[in-house]
Structure 1
Amino acid sequence: MTKLSGVFPVLPTPFTAENAVDEAAFRRLIDFAVESGADGVVFPGMASEVETLSAPERGQMVAVLGEQLAGRLTFIVGASHADPAESAARAREGMAAGAVAAMIMAPPQAGQDVARHIAYYAAVAEAAPGLVIMLQNAPAPNGAALSPEAVAAVAAGVPAIRYVKEETLPCGQHVSRILAAASGGLDGVMGGAGARFVLDELARDANGTMPALELADAHAALWKAWQSGDKAKARRIYTETLPLLLFQMTFRVRATKEVLKRRGLLDHTGARAAGPKLDAGDLAEIGELIATAATCMTMHKPR
């Protein structure tokens, strides 16, 4: 398998006005990810409202993703579950659709016990032969918030773990510490946290980022600029997009969907996830923030 690197946006789950999963809209978002210049995609994750999807809905959308991509981009399937057998089943479901790896969150119920995490991931790997695992280290309460050294120790104990998605703060420092503790034993560490710290992470040798989808073209351009040595351009894109990303930190998927709607990529912004909804003032403010970031958008200019 080619080493995974670059921009891998996490796809949201669009819903119809009747709150059903919207397959047609999902296909449009997949095509946008491809056209944006992203290096791959991830689904489902926390930015996909995964906790609200039924098993049949999840399976349906993973299959649609593989079909619509048709090999045009690499994809990583989200396969987190407290039960390693369920996690393995979700990983196999993704592999059947063409996923090259499974992103699996370090389970919070294992706490800081490295041995328990190793046993969990080893059980997943045993039940899904050939699986490449990306260990997702997320903050509490959703994740275990493992220390960087614990992340490296878990990876060392489970050969199937080749990548880490690091989302605990301070992200940049943790990328450095994981890479140092792993001593070359990983194929890469990617940043998360909505790309709000992406330049610090890249400066510390992160091999990519996994933001939400709404600025995929801007993030792809930032990555290409950084890789080519044009750090000034990367800094400009970061500076112009960061205010919108900070707004998204509060409103999460609802902000993502509002931006995608204004870019003509979604008709409905309905969300099942818990969290604050945008009021009239927020809708006015997000319009100003979109305008600030619009120069970094290479397609689907906001309306």
Structure 2
Amino acid sequence: MTQASHPVALRGVFPVAPTIFDDAGRLDLEGQKRCIDFMIDAGSNGLCILANFSEQFSLSDDERNTLMHVVLEHVAGRVPVIVTTTHFSSLQCAERSRSAQAAGAAMVMIMPPYHGATIRIGERGIYEFYRTVSEAIQIPIMIQDAPVSGTALSAPFLARMAREIDNVSYFKIETPQAANKLRELIELGGDAVVGPWDGEEAITLMADLDAGATGSMTGGGYADGIRLIVDAYAAGATEAAAAHYQQWLPLINYENRQGGLASCKALMKEGGVIHSDAVRHPLPAMHPATREGLLKIARRLDPLVLRWGH
């Protein structure tokens, strides 16, 4: 099998867009559009929707479909959009991915198949899973290598899939010691690894850039800050990139270790981007003290998110 050609590699900062709800937990599509407009204005090179930080696991299939079409139509080609199409079933994942491609997605992001704490699939099944999806589409696949799947994906196995399966060409590495894994993946996969990417809210960003990462998928609240780091690094100004990273690291760390997926919405509500920062029950609302800690750090940095809606 020959590796599909993807002449324009996606690079840079592609934050995850949160799913915007009203206070009752219903989709707020007008708020979603404002969220998307803000994220583009903040300098996002592209966006990712329906990811775990989008609370995809709390959405119905109809809601996923609605969100995908609303967002892609509203973006209208301003930036490329990655659509997460993760599903346990190979056939369902292929169908989700086909629908995403038809709607205008630039790429799909997919975790390996898993269910609950104990149902896992071996390498042969995972290989066949990604091959099935690849054969259904013509756009790139990003494999999301995240601890939430509970599935070990070795660098040699990822590199093999990159070499042998059409469209498998991007990898978001979120596992411990991500930089070492990225380095090994790049070495073993060669040109078949089009996009070795950083994830996990940029908490390992500098090490991952040093290892060869060409993209970063972060939270959606402050692409302007992450762009300072990634753009400086891409320009060869690694010391400037490190200085920017040290400046923004307290906020990155607070999101990663304290506020989690609610952080982005808290920032957006504070800045008037959205009316409600509700997460969907049974996820807990952010504790007021956590919110104040987040905002205290953010105000020192003056990101666009705190000014955009005012």
Q: Same fold (TM over 0.5)?
A: yes
Partner of 1:234: 241
Equivalent pairs, count: 299
Q: Which moved more, 1:243-252 or 1:85-94?
A: 243-252
Checking the alignment, whether the CA contact within 8 Å between 2:42 and 2:223 is kept in structure 1 is yes
Q: What does 1:1-303 correspond to in 2, within 5 Å?
A: 1=6, 2-108=8-114, 111=120, 113-126=122-135, 128-139=136-147, 141-249=148-256, 250-272=258-280, 275-294=283-302, 297-298=303-304, 300-301=306-307
Letter in 1 for 2:185: I
Give CA-to-partner distance per residue, 1:65-112, whole Å, 9 cap, x none. Answer: 111111110111101000011111211221122111111112236857
Counterparts of 1:252 and 1:298, CA distance in 2: 20
**Structure-2 separation of matches of 1:293 and 1:174:** 32
- Report the Cα distance in structure 2 between the residues aligned to 1:56 and 1:136, rounded to whole angstroms: 23
Does the 8 Å contact 2:112/2:149 carry over to 1? Answer: no
The alpha-carbon deviation at position 231 of structure 1 amounts to 2.4
Between the aligned residues of both structures, percent identity stands at 27
Q: Which amino acid in the other structure matches residue 133 of structure 2?
A: V
Deviations 1:124-182 (A, max 9, x none): 122x232321111111x434231222221232331220111111111111110111121
Residue 193 of structure 1: how far off its partner (Å):
0.9
Q: CA RMSD in A?
A: 2.0
TM-score (norm 1): 0.92
Classify 1:176/1:123 alpha carbon distance in 2 versus 1 (closer, same or farther; 3 Å). Answer: same
Q: Structure 1 stretches of 5 or more lacking a match?
A: none
Q: Tell me which residue corresponds to 2:3.
A: none
2:255 and 2:294 in contact (8 A); partners too: no
Q: Distance in 1 between matches of 2:210 and 2:72?
A: 33
- TM-score normalised over the length of structure 2: 0.90
Residues 240, 292 of structure 1: 8 Å contact kept: no
3-state SS in 1 of match to 2:149? coil
- Following the alignment from structure 2 to structure 1, what is the Cα–Cα distance between the partners of residues 150 and 128? 17
Q: Does the Cα contact within 8 Å between 1:105 and 1:143 map onto a contact in 2?
A: no
Counterparts of 2:137 and 2:30 in 1: how far apart (Å)? 33
Other structure's SS at 2:82 match: strand
| Cα distance in 2 between the residues matched to 1:93 and 1:284 | 41
Once the two structures are TM-superposed, the CA of residue 298 in structure 1 deviates from its matched residue by: 4.6
Distance 1:119 1:142, change over 3 A: same
The answer to whether the Cα contact below 8 Å between 2:101 and 2:137 also exists between their aligned partners in 1 is no
Within 1, Cα distance between the matches of 2:255 and 2:288? 16
Using the TM superposition, give the Cα deviation of residue 299 of structure 1 relative to its aligned residue in structure 2, in angstroms.
6.2
Give the gaps of 5 or more residues in structure 2: 1-5
Shift of 1:283: 2.5
Describe the SS at the equivalent of 1:264: coil
Measured at CA, do residues 264 and 102 of structure 1 come closer, stay the same or move farther in structure 2, by a change above 3 Å?
same
Matched-pair contact (CA < 8 Å) for 2:107–2:139: yes
